[in-house]
Chain A
Amino acid sequence: MKTTQILIAGFGGQGILFSGKFIAYKGLIEELQVSWLPSYGPEMRGGTANCNVILSDTPVGSPIITEPDVLIAMNTPSLLKYVDSVAKGGQIYVDSSLIDAKVERDDVEVFYIPATQMAKEEGIATLANMIIVGHLLENHPELSFDGAKEVVDSLVPPKKEALKELNMKALSLGKNYKK
């Protein structure tokens, strides 16, 4: 039995829920069991937002993550709030252009990615989230990069056609990111 619990946290407007949806859909086409649970309520209007995604090869129990295997932190409060909850041997993805703090744990793997800065340089400022997701795909063979386009195509509404290519660009940037 393999289960991966992914917690994505940041500000509303950073595409937290969207990146979670992307991962969940990717899991779906990989024929995994998945659950996606958003935070909801006033925080969606610009406060903190977070999203729980679980991928498993057996039916998902609770969709609520208390001990994530993967944490994607898109702002400092989120990192500080959840850093200690990450499972031993887990992964933490930090948007290092927005977060100065360092993770002071040696039992987890940490990826510092200046995603917001990279996104700005490429003129896709709102897609820092997908840069990090691109890197996560690279690290997770059960998800892999194959089929990412299919997922993007199904998630981006037809009215925003141009965003499809930009999302793919962001994912590639993350995939190829080297420290």
Chain B
Amino acid sequence: MAQRILMKGNEAIAEAAIRAGCRHYFGYPITPQTEIAAYMAKKMPKIGGVFLQAESEIASINMVYGAAAAGVRVMTSSSSPGISLKAEGLSYIAGSDIPALVVNVQRGGPGLGGIQPSQSDYFQATKGGGHGDYRMIVLAPASVQEMASLTIKGFDLADKYLMTSMILADGTIGQMMEPITFEDAEPKTYEKPWALTGTECKRGHNVVNSLYLKPDELEKKNFERFEKYKHIEENEAMWEEYMMEDAEVCVVAFGIASRVAKNAVAAARAEGIKVGLIRPITLWPFPNKAFAKVLDKVRAFVSVELSMGQMIEDIRLATECKKPVMLCNRAGGMIPGPDEVLAAIKKAEKGEF
């Protein structure tokens, strides 16, 4: 078995990216994700890779756009305010159908907000953020191990579907250390016949572009892209179920909130309450199937979020509003304790909303 080592979540992302064959990183410093850039700055020159600190978030995402178009595995990372700046590039990458990995180690907002952990960029990540009709695959790690495994998965999905994978983490998971193991596996590679490599005067020119001045062509492109998204929704949703077999109350939480929620579920179980947890691992595609499966048995859902309630809307959609969904939240960088979640579980069990 591979050796267990202790690593910060942010460093795990960087190491995993390198193991996934990523040799190009463009970024700009912002707390609480700067360890990713620092790790890349140290490692990339030694393995023939490129680390470049850009002049801005905007420049860095556009460098990613260029490198992705050139056919290499490339990533950038930032935290909430920086992701807003990158939104332009995210839209162009989506509109050009090229693969990239973008990490958001979230902090409290809006505006400059704070630097403590948050999940308040859920809407931005899952519903857009940039302009136009587009989706990103949004992966929500809940451990340092998953920071690594979902980074590798994110690169593969991006290459497979020619779109952006976003790692939606938060300051806690980014800063914490946990044991982690890396399996020795060769990175997957994908053919990229569309990449800008120079024609060598042997083929027609490749054009990476999101501009379609004829509306019928642009419409066609959008419909095609959404066929792809539909396929992803049907095939790529990931989630974890915890104590759901006989659950009558279902807690829903992702990332760091799910760790707190697990403690609360265990405590509630100790008191004889039939409660379980659904932890979405992909936020888009949202794991609707997980909810359809339990909709008959579960009396109430509790959405635990580090935001003013964003994922709760997707839970209501996934449950078609057939069961009550209660919000248990903290915001601005605050994190609920297991006791707060436990209290919410008890309320939900008693039907007190």
Contacts and interface: CB of A to CB of B under 8 A. Distances in A.
| Chain A bound to chain B | yes
Interface of A: 21, 24-25, 28, 33-38, 40-41, 60-64, 66
B115 A40 contact: yes
Contact of B178 (A40, A60, A66): A60
B285 interface: no
Contact of A34 (B172, B179, B256, B259): B179
B173 to A, nearest CB: 9
Contacts, number: 64
B335 A64 contact: yes
Contacts of A63: 172, 176, 178, 256, 259
Nearest to A31: B4
A119 B181 CA distance: 37
A147 to B, nearest CB: 15
Contacts of A33: 179
Interface of A is mostly: mixed
Contact of A36 (B32, B177, B259, B260): B177
Given A36-B6, A63-B176, A41 B115 contact: yes
A41 to B, nearest CB: 5
Nearest to A41: B115
B55 interface: no
A40 B175 contact: yes
B56 interface: no
Interface residues of B, number: 24
A61 B6 CA distance: 17
A28 B179 contact: yes
B87 to A, nearest CB: 25
Contacts of B222: none
Contacts of A28: 4-6, 179
Interface in B6-58: 6, 31-32
A62 B263 contact: yes
A24 B179 CA distance: 9
B339 interface: yes
B136 to A, nearest CB: 27
B262 interface: yes
Contacts of B177: 21, 24, 34-37
Contact of A41 (B31, B256, B259, B339): B31
A161 to B, nearest CB: 21
A28 to B, nearest CB: 6
A64 B262 CA distance: 12
Interface in B137-183: 171-172, 175-179
B116 interface: yes
20 contacts: A28-B4, A33-B179, A34-B177, A34-B179, A35-B176, A36-B176, A36-B178, A37-B175, A38-B176, A40-B175, A60-B178, A61-B259, A61-B262, A62-B256, A62-B260, A62-B338, A63-B172, A64-B256, A64-B260, A64-B337
Given A28-B6, A66-B337, A37 B262 contact: no
B179 A40 contact: no
A25 B4 CA distance: 11
Interface in B259-275: 259-260, 262-263, 266
A35 B262 CA distance: 15
Contact of B175 (A25, A38, A61): A38
